């Protein structure tokens, strides 16, 4: 019986047990996902955000049948992901980011022909569907070329239209191709396809997703529309400072300043981008610059919080 929900997960958990060494084996248990409950409506574009190791990919792999949950249940269109794998697999697609996932030696056309066979697309529909797909991703006329000749972005665009689960699809994609990818994903969702998207790009999630779940430590820390998540950072102010060679002691000192709620550092080559979130009614800019005295600084900016700031606040509080 197919459900009105595309995805339903209750108490989803996954534990990994690893063993290293032969003579004196060391066993380790890692709880990658610690009880996730979520429902995704049909046609919804749902984002999963979280830092590396948060449990996003493990969650997706449980939902798409590649992994069996240690506990809990999940259903895709009402079909259980453990017991009814064939029914589930008939209804899902999975695209992962990076430079892999296609047969290099085959042309785009033959890759699609093979995937069509693997996914059981009826022969009478294959030619039409493949032509539509090539047209959609702008590869008409290049379908006979081997995919090893394509740019990374073009290769990933081959996958897009069949997809339900997109695991960091825009990783390593150039900005123009990423924009086209976002357009394609939005088009799929508008056409009724349910999309679960994991990404590190907040702007992408903000632009595309109907709802977003922020995962950290294997648990959902926040769930809501992008606007609802952004409101988590309401009442805050953000100071951004470009700096060079900031020592850890200075960062600790920033964290201890009165009114400071979150401090994060992003390395951009030699440059470090410090982001300091504070209560809106406290002006910390002067204190921040005082703590960074003697350090070479670039641009200093004060602004309203974004979804990314809300994300940092949510993950930081986890």
Partner 1 sequence: MRTLRLMGIGGALAYRALFNWTTPAMYTGTLLAGPTFQLLFFAYLGRQLQVADDRFFIVGNAVLAASTACVFGGTMAVANERRYGTLGHVLLSPRSRTVVFWGRVLPYAGNGLLIAAFTLLMGVLLLGLRIPASALPGLALALAAGSLACGFFGLTLGALGLRFRDVWVVSNVSAALLLLLTGVNVPRDGLPDWMITVGQLLPITHAAEAARLLAAGRGLDAAAPALGRELLVGAGYAVLAALLLKVFEAESRRRASLETL
SS3 assignment, position 59: helix
Minimum distance from CB of 125 to partner 1 (Å)? 12
| Residue number with CB closer to partner 1 (99 or 304) | 99
Span of 33-41, 89-97, 187-195, 233-241 interacting with partner 1 by CB under 8 A: 89-97
Choose, by CB under 8 A, the member of 35, 51, 72, 101 that binds partner 1: 101
- Classify 30 as helix, strand or coil: strand
Contact between 104 and partner 1 per CB under 8 A: yes
What is each CA distance from 98 to 170, 173, 178, in whole angstroms?
Answer: 8, 9, 13
User: Burial level of 99, CB count in 10 A (0-12/13-18/19+)?
Assistant: exposed
- Residue 115 as a binder of partner 1 (CB under 8 A): the answer is yes
Q: Rule CB under 8 A: is residue 119 a binding residue for partner 1?
A: yes
Residue 22 CB, nearest approach to partner 1 (Å): 15
Judged by CB under 8 A, the number of residues near partner 1 is 33
- HEC string of 181-238? HHHHHHHHHHCCCCEEEECCCHHHHHHHCCEEEEEECCEEEEEECHHHHHHHHCCEEE
Residue 117 makes contact with partner 1 by CB under 8 A: yes
The answer to whether 130 contacts partner 1 (rule: CB under 8 A) is no
The residues, any chain, with a CB within 8 Å of residue 219's CB and separated by 6 or more, are 33, 34, 35, 36, 55, 318
Q: How far is the CB of 137 from partner 1 (least distance, A)?
A: 17
Q: How far is the CB of 186 from partner 1 (least distance, A)?
A: 24
Rounded Cα gap, residues 119 and 123, in angstroms: 11
Select from 12-20, 230-238, 270-278, 310-318 the region that touches partner 1 (CB under 8 A): 12-20
In sequence order, what E strands does the chain have? 5-20, 26-41, 45-49, 71-76, 79-80, 94-96, 165-167, 195-198, 211-216, 219-224, 236-244, 260-268, 271-279, 296-303
With CB under 8 A as the contact rule, the residue among 42, 113, 142, 179 that binds partner 1 is 113
Q: Which stretch binds partner 1 (CB under 8 A): 107-115, 235-243, 268-276, 302-310?
A: 107-115
Interface region with partner 1, contact rule CB under 8 A, candidates 48-56, 83-91, 240-248, 269-277 = 83-91
Query: Which position among 6, 38, 54, 102 is part of the footprint of partner 1 (CB under 8 A)?
Result: 102
Beta bridge partners, 224, equal 212
Contact between 105 and partner 1 by CB under 8 A: the answer reads: yes
96 makes contact with partner 1 (CB under 8 A) = yes
In angstroms, the CA 225 to CA 209 distance is 8
Nearest CB to partner 1, comparing residues 113 and 142: 113
Question: Are the beta carbons of 229 and 314 closer than 8 angstroms?
Answer: yes
Could you say which of 36, 40, 54, 64 contacts partner 1 (CB under 8 A)?
64
| Contact flag: residue 2 with partner 1 (CB under 8 A) | no
Name the residue among 317, 269, 287, 314 with its Cα closest to residue 49.
314
Residue 218 · residue 252 · CB < 8 Å: no
Looking at the Cβ atoms of 101 and 259, the one nearer to partner 1 is 101
Is 194 a residue that touches partner 1 (CB under 8 A)?
A: no
Applying CB under 8 A, does 171 fall inside the site for partner 1?
A: no
Residues forming the site for partner 1 (CB under 8 A)? 14, 16-17, 61, 64-68, 86, 89-90, 92, 94, 96, 98, 100-106, 110, 113-115, 117-120, 122-123
């Amino acid at each position: 019986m197919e459900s009105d929900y595309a995805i339903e997960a209750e108490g989803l958990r996954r534990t990994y047990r690893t063993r290293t060494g032969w003579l004196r084996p060391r066993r380790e248990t890692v709880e990658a996902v610690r009880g996730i409950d979520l429902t995704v409506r049909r046609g919804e574009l749902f984002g999963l955000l979280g830092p590396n190791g948060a449990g996003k990919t493990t969650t997706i792999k449980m939902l798409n049948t590649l992994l069996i949950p240690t506990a809990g249940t999940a259903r895709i269109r009402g079909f259980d992901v453990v017991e009814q794998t064939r029914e589930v697999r008939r209804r899902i697609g999975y695209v992962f980011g990076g430079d892999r996932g296609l047969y290099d030696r085959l042309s785009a056309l033959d890759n699609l022909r093979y995937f069509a066979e693997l996914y059981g697309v009826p022969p009478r529909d294959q030619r039409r569907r493949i032509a539509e797909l090539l047209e959609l991703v702008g590869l008409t006329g290049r379908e006979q070329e081997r995919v090893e000749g394509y740019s990374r972005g073009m290769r990933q665009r081959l996958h897009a239209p069949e997809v339900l689960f997109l695991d960091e699809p825009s990783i390593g994609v150039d900005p123009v191709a990423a924009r086209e990818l976002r357009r394609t994903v939005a088009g799929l969702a508008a056409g009724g396809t349910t999309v679960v998207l994991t990404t590190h790009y907040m702007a992408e999630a903000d632009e595309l997703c109907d709802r977003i779940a922020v995962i950290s430590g294997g648990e959902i820390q926040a769930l809501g529309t992008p606007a609802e998540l952004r409101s988590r950072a309401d009442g805050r102010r953000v100071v951004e400072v470009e700096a060079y060679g900031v020592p850890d002691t200075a960062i600790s000192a920033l964290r201890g300043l009165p009114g400071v709620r979150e401090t994060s550092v992003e390395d951009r080559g030699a440059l470090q981008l410090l982001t300091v979130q504070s209560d809106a009614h406290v002006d910390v800019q002067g204190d921040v610059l005082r703590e960074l005295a003697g350090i070479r600084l670039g641009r200093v900016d004060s602004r309203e919080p974004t979804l990314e700031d809300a994300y940092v606040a949510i993950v930081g509080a986890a």
